[in-house]
């Protein structure tokens, strides 16, 4: 089920609202809220599209989506355990008006799990208000090392074919010359547009794609680190581990799904 099916978030008279589901189902439709939104993935993995960028939330990660940001959620994870929390935020708070994707520290994880007691509560509760106010007030301090793991969706339609090819063939060795031929653009034009639209080089884009895919595989719990490395196109576990640590600032083993 989705929150949008039964409860209109923007019509709530509460400053905070908690929504928890064991197995979240998504409507995959772009929408926005007047409240800010904290999405925490307890298990599984979650894609979020916010303002034309695709973000990945692996297990034990969260995203802060600012008020008014156009977004949608979708996941390829068979089972996803999500906690979603909505909050009114101060106009002058810079942090609360920016997208943030981050690894959830233990203390915030415990606070989020404690908040589950108020899931779908439509009534005013002074304890709930006090607790959630403290949580959202401290959020900027919990997100000191925000992880900007995202892939930009190019606006320039001339890149459509090459980006589609990249997403389907990220495991292979891809050169700009290949994409130039596919997109029917000169190499020079393609390189210029690609950097302008995505903000990164082809090799970096492909690296992030591979790491995002590896996070899906690791959090599914079906593959080892070694099997994951080869599954996403790396020729050695060492090369995969180096690349993973460069992007994620942590080891692949940190993301292997563990049974509770």
pLDDT band for position 4 (cuts 50, 70, 90)? very low
Which has the minimum average pLDDT: 23-32, 160-169, 188-197, 232-241?
Answer: 23-32
Q: What is the pLDDT of residue 5?
A: 47
- Kindly give the residue spans of alpha helices, DSSP state H, lying in 34-184: 106-114, 126-142, 160-168, 176-183
Mean pLDDT of 175-203: 90
Report residue 197 CA to chain centroid gap. 20
Q: Tell me the two tokens of residue 119.
A: 């899931």
Mean pLDDT of 97-125: 91
Residue 221 confidence (pLDDT) above 90: no
Query: Does the domain spanning 3-142 belong to CATH 2.60.120.10?
Result: yes
State the Cα–Cα distance between residues 38 and 159, nearest whole angstrom: 32
Mean pLDDT of 61-80: 80
Summarised one tens digit per residue, pLDDT across range 9-29 is 877 889 999 998 776 666 678
Domain spans, the chain: 3-142, 156-255
> What does pTM read for this prediction?
0.70
CA of 128: how far to CAs of 18, 77, 203, in Å?
10, 31, 47
State the Cα–Cα distance between residues 15 and 10, nearest whole angstrom: 10
Summarised one tens digit per residue, pLDDT across range 137-148 is 999 988 876 566
| 156-255 topology per CATH | Arc Repressor Mutant, subunit A (1.10.10)
Q: What is the pLDDT of residue 147?
A: 64
Q: Tell me the two tokens of residue 154.
A: 């190019």
CA of 175: how far to CAs of 72, 78, 170, 181, 202, in Å?
32, 34, 11, 10, 8
Residue 260 confidence (pLDDT) above 50: no
State the Cα–Cα distance between residues 154 and 163, nearest whole angstrom: 8
| CB-based contacts of 51-56 (< 8 A; 24+ apart in sequence) | 51/99, 52/152, 52/153, 52/155, 53/99, 53/150, 53/151, 53/152, 53/153, 54/150, 54/151, 54/152, 54/153, 55/99, 55/101, 55/149, 55/150, 56/101, 56/149, 56/150, 56/212, 56/215, 56/216
Q: What are phi and psi of 243, to 5 degrees?
A: -65, -45
Residue 48 confidence (pLDDT) above 70: yes
Mean pLDDT of 27-54: 84
Helix/strand/coil for 36? strand
Residue 81 confidence (pLDDT) above 70: yes
Dihedral angle at the C-alpha atoms of 208, 212, 214, 216, nearest 10 degrees?
180
Percent of the chain with pLDDT over 70: 88
Report residue 2 CA to chain centroid gap. 18
Q: What is the pLDDT of residue 259?
A: 40
254: exposed, middle or buried (Cβ count in 10 Å: 0-12, 13-18, 19+): middle
Summarised one tens digit per residue, pLDDT across range 143-179 is 876 566 667 677 788 888 888 898 889 999 999 999 9
Instruction: Give the range with max mean pLDDT: 55-64, 146-155, 226-235, 250-259.
Output: 226-235
Q: What is the pLDDT of residue 29?
A: 84
Residue 46 confidence (pLDDT) above 80: no
Can you list the positions of beta strands (E) in the chain?
A: 16-21, 36-43, 46-50, 53-57, 61-65, 71-74, 81-87, 100-103, 150-152
């Amino acid at each position: 089920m989705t929150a949008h099916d039964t409860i209109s978030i923007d019509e709530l008279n509460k400053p905070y609202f908690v929504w928890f589901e064991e197995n979240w189902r998504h409507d995959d439709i772009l929408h926005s809220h007047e409240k800010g939104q904290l999405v925490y993935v307890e298990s599984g993995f979650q894609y979020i599209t916010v303002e034309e960028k695709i973000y990945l939330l692996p297990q034990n990660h969260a995203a802060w989506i600012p008020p008014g940001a156009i977004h949608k959620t979708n996941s390829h994870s068979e089972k996803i355990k999500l906690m979603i929390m909505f909050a009114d935020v101060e106009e002058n708070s810079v942090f609360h008006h920016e997208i943030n994707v981050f690894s959830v520290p233990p203390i915030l994880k415990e606070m989020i799990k404690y908040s589950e007691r108020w899931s779908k509560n439509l009534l005013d509760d002074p304890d709930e208000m006090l607790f959630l106010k403290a949580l959202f007030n401290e959020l900027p301090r919990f997100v000191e090392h925000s992880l900007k793991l995202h892939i930009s969706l190019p606006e320039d339609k001339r890149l459509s074919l090459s980006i589609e090819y990249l997403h389907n063939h990220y495991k292979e060795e891809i050169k700009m010359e290949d994409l130039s031929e596919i997109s029917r653009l000169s190499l020079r034009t393609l390189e210029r547009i690609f950097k302008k639209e995505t903000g990164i080089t082809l090799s970096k884009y492909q690296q992030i794609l591979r790491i995002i895919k590896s996070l899906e595989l690791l959090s599914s719990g079906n593959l080892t680190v070694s099997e994951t490395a080869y599954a996403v196109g790396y020729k050695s576990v060492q090369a995969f581990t180096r690349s993973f640590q460069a992007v994620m600032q942590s080891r692949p083993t940190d993301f292997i799904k563990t049974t509770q």
